[in-house]
Structure 1
Amino acid sequence: MQLIELTSYLITQCEEAKNRFFHMREFDLQPDFFLEVKPHADLIHEQLLLWQRLAKEWRISYQPKYMHNQQIDQVVDAMEQFTVQSFYKETSKKRFLQSVHSVHYTLSTLLRYLQEGEANVQQKEDDF
């Protein structure tokens, strides 16, 4: 399922953003906006828009109890922000880490719902 793969990809991007943030701070680096930041942010933006559409379609179909459109939208907004912020050492560490943690939690929760849903579908098919 494309949504599972995309959600897993975004979770790894959360970790990469955190690693990049600490790397930039540790080595006191300044990125080139047009060569490094913008291309990466554009790639993530495209993936997030696809993920957002698929996640909302899935949510409408399966109506999970603890996943709402507002959470999906917040993941997109926060991840777009912290992806860019991860390149800059001036970013507030506490705020950055809280944003990454929040997005990671929502993505992990959705991934768990998706995997449990696939297990239930497999189980029902085996019963027939």
Structure 2
Amino acid sequence: MLGWYTEGHTMNEVLLNKTELLILLLEEAREKFASRGEEAPDFFSEVKPFADKVRDTCDEWLPLAEEFANRTRANYIHGSQISAAAENLQSLSISALQPDMRERRFKDLASSVEYVLHQLRDGLKQDQTK
């Protein structure tokens, strides 16, 4: 089912790498939000490439993260939180550069995504030490 992941690496290693990449992409979205201007950026040259990168990474990450949560039945993260984090991060990747995005809304969504990603990352690291 998940045979596309990098040969020679466990599913947890791939998931950890994807989770850390999403954390970096979230930070990039925060930087884009902080530096956005009064005018909406060009969608095809500025917004779409970043949004596509986030979407593609989320599409690879989501089934692995859901599988990990189901397999470990961890108390620290649930499937609904994982799918919501993927949706919210994709939304943030588009709205980060939009001048009409409210700061409070952006920060709330970013914090929610960050919590899930950090919980999952910490759970993966803990699982590796077992």
Question: Same fold, TM exceeding 0.5?
Answer: yes
How many residues align? The count is 118
Say whether 1:61 aligns with 2:34.
no
**Residue aligning to 1:92:** 102
**Residue aligning to 1:10:** 22
Unaligned runs of 5+ in 2: 1-12
**Cα shift readout 1:64-96 (whole Å, capped 9, x = no counterpart):** 113111001100111111110101122100000
**Residue aligning to 1:112:** 122
Unaligned runs of 5+ in 1: 121-128
Q: Flag the structure with higher helix content.
A: 1
Q: RMSD of the alignment, in Å?
A: 1.1
Query: Max radius of gyration: which structure?
Result: 1
Which ranges of 4 or more aligned residues in structure 1 deviate by more than 6 Å? none
Q: When the two structures are superposed, what TM-score results if normalisation uses the length of structure 2? A: 0.86
Q: Displacement, 1:30?
A: 3.2
Aligned equivalents of 1:47, 1:21: Cα separation in 2: 20
Q: When the two structures are superposed, what TM-score results if normalisation uses the length of structure 1? A: 0.87
Aligned equivalents of 2:80, 2:111: Cα separation in 1: 17
Say whether 1:21 aligns with 2:33.
yes
